[in-house]
Amino acid sequence: MPYRQHLNAAADLITPYAATRAGFVAQALEKNRRGTPFVQEARDLKAAAQHAANPNALLAMPQIQAGLLTAAGVSDKAERHLQPADRRAAIVNLIENFLLPAGNDFVEELVYRFLLTRGDSLGGAMRNYTGAVAQQRLSAALLARFRNQGTNFQWRREDGAWAAAPDDDAAAALMMRGIHWTVGRQQPRTLVYNLTVPLVRKNIDLCLFNILPAQLSQAAYREARHYLALGELKGGIDPAGADEHWKTARTALDRINAGFENTGVQVHTFFIGAAIVADMADEIWQMLQGHSLENAANLTNDNQLASIVRWLTGL
């Protein structure tokens, strides 16, 4: 029971208030950092729009058409799929339905609606940020483990290429998408992030294989014998969303167990989460004791993270 190396009871999994607070503060700082360019764009849009005598005059200002389109509620991603006529129609709709009714305050209305769309984009970026931070924290723990035990390794970059051990582990942790090492008598181990596993028909956050990086392929992914461990990693820190994150992870873990049930392969399963509340901790503990889950750890607890990384790298 590897989880017993760092867990004595369900309560050990619960995220303490201090970790939640630190997570919220870090997110707030990051949100402000990422939001600063949007505020600057809004200021630039306001300065230019103030030269328009009325809302309709905005159509004749080519230097702010992209900003007008954003204020119309069209995201950068959606804009790439629109024809010029569709873009103009969206801006005309903005002017007729929102800017003209605002009267002399049309510039303020324009800026507010611009920021509304940018805020939605920022929210999506922040949701991706929490997942990226979780990967970075795990990557840093893996790199530290290999450095401390003197293990040679390769790491997978964002572009999918495999490279020798980096000179700068801090930079590598930000970009790492997988890692390869050997155990025992040169037995290969390759950990890959975010992979759709054919046997499960679902994207799994962490997949550990017993083959070399060069042997990874769609054909290999369909072979149960190549898998050693599969796990879920959830980095959201908000306790209010913990149950939803766990529901997603629990579904994936159940599908892993079902997908490998008749393969003759006993794949190891594990869960690492940042926001773990009491009810969720109780359920994880029951799964651990019932052997439907082999290991679990709280991402915000350094000792637990180091312990599960030692277990994972020793399989």
Tens of pLDDT, residue by residue over 179-188, are: 999 998 889 9
Q: What is the pLDDT of residue 80?
A: 86
CA distance 112 to 98: 11
pLDDT, greater one: 189 or 167: 189
Q: What is the mean pLDDT of residues 256-285?
A: 94
| CATH superfamily placement of domain 31-124 | Restriction endonuclease BsobI, helical domain (1.10.238.90)
Q: What is the pLDDT of residue 24?
A: 85
| CATH 3.40.91.10 residue window(s) in the chain | 2-29+126-314
Predicted confidence (pLDDT) at residue 161 exceeds the cutoff of 90? yes
CA distance 173 to 137: 8
* CA 32 vs CA 50, 76, 227: distances in Å: 26, 20, 41
CATH classification number, 2-29+126-314, choose in 3.40.50.1220, 3.40.91.10, 3.40.30.10, 3.10.20.30: 3.40.91.10
User: What b/e readout covers 163-181, taking b as 16+ CB neighbours within 10 angstroms?
Assistant: eebbeebeebbeebbbbbb
| CATH 1.10.238.90 residue window(s) in the chain | 31-124
Q: What is the pLDDT of residue 185?
A: 82
Average pLDDT, the chain: 92
Among residues 60, 224, 33, which one has the least CA distance to residue 122? Answer: 33
Predicted confidence (pLDDT) at residue 304 exceeds the cutoff of 90? yes
Spatial contact of 293 and 284, defined as CB atoms under 8 Å apart: yes
pLDDT band for position 79 (50/70/90)? confident
pLDDT band for position 260 (50/70/90)? very high
Q: What is the pLDDT of residue 78?
A: 83
Predicted confidence (pLDDT) at residue 128 exceeds the cutoff of 80? no
